[in-house]
Structure 1
């Protein structure tokens, strides 16, 4: 059983429990098994040799999650070919694909943690009470060392977009 971090964050001011470790800058990023679609999985090794910005959102169909994903999609065009931006949510791959088409988002890789919550558990963002992943940002270098991390204290708040993008630019 993974570590439970009671009251590690809030949702609309109410304490929530995050499952898994609180990762820190300098840690080696843990691997995960996550869905590209219903039949295909993805893992950290699929993005080997690239700088990775992993943007975690609870549900792509909410206002802050929508804005967060669009913001990083815009930034992607200025970050170079050695950078991949991954958005993780527990939305079904169908919903992610539909949203990307409707939003015109084409530079971000959307991956779904709906099935096993492998990502949420490994990165310490799985919300026990809601079955969602907590809003957070991870920047990994080409060797999967964490160079920037932001766990938001309140799920409905925006992350620090500029700090995350600056962390990527420092590695690209």
Structure 2
């Protein structure tokens, strides 16, 4: 094989692997037992939390940076109209009352803002903020939660400290399972 061709092939292969790792990663995440590919850049403890814009129930743009100086919990799920996602939203709403005013809980999904508002009104959810990532998938890509197969968000929790750094990350291995609330709340208390 020609040496120049070999070098070009090696460069293409190594570049392709880098691109694949940046934009798609199975990481053992499954939905109903089938592997899913997470797109975007995965979040890691110790990194500065990437900013993103979501849409609230009043169709207003809300950024993570709007909560600077607070501990922020990002509760992520595919759709509030499923049993596990609804349970996750209820649980974090309950937990919010005991965490203090310096903690903000944002739930993030690809649901339309109207669906999130309807759910919260029907369930009496009043201590958390709901954000939709439906427009640009900015959150999903910035945090590596966007599922390639269905363009919904995977399930997980990210805690961002008052200094803007990520202190806790959980990508739930089976999307049909609830996150580890105990570990997430412990991370919130430690970040305060």
Q: Would the TM-score normalized by the shorter structure come out above 0.5? A: yes
The higher radius of gyration belongs to 2
Matched, 1:10 2:30: yes
Question: Offset of 1:6 from its aligned partner?
Answer: 3.4
CA distance in 1: counterparts of 2:122 and 2:134, whole angstroms = 21
Instruction: Give TM-score, length-normalised by structure 1.
Output: 0.96
Counterpart residue number, 2:102:
82
CA distance in 2: counterparts of 1:114 and 1:7, whole angstroms = 24
Secondary structure at the counterpart of residue 6 of structure 1:
coil
Counterpart residue number, 2:40:
20
Question: Offset of 1:4 from its aligned partner?
Answer: 1.1
On the 8 A contact 2:71/2:188 being kept in 1, the answer is yes
Matched, 1:60 2:80: yes
Counterpart residue number, 2:65:
45
Residue 33 to residue 8, structure 1, CA distance change in 2 (3 Å):
farther
On the 8 A contact 1:93/1:111 being kept in 2, the answer is yes
The structure that is strand-richer by fraction is 1
Unaligned runs of 5+ in 2: 1-18
Residue 8 to residue 32, structure 1, CA distance change in 2 (3 Å):
farther
CA distance in 2: counterparts of 1:9 and 1:60, whole angstroms = 20
Counterpart residue number, 1:150:
170
Structure 1 moving runs of 4+ over 6 Å: none
CA distance in 2: counterparts of 1:3 and 1:28, whole angstroms = 19
Matched, 1:169 2:186: no
Instruction: Give TM-score, length-normalised by structure 2.
Output: 0.86
What is the Cα-based RMSD across aligned positions, in Å?
1.3
Between 1 and 2, higher relative CO (CA 8 Å, sep ≥ 6) is seen in 1
CA distance in 2: counterparts of 1:150 and 1:8, whole angstroms = 13
Unaligned runs of 5+ in 1: none
CA distance in 1: counterparts of 2:117 and 2:56, whole angstroms = 10
Secondary structure at the counterpart of residue 178 of structure 2:
coil
Counterpart residue number, 2:111:
91
CA distance in 2: counterparts of 1:59 and 1:39, whole angstroms = 18
The structure that is helix-richer by fraction is 2
Q: Of residues 128, 144, 162 in structure 1, which corresponds to 2:148? A: 128
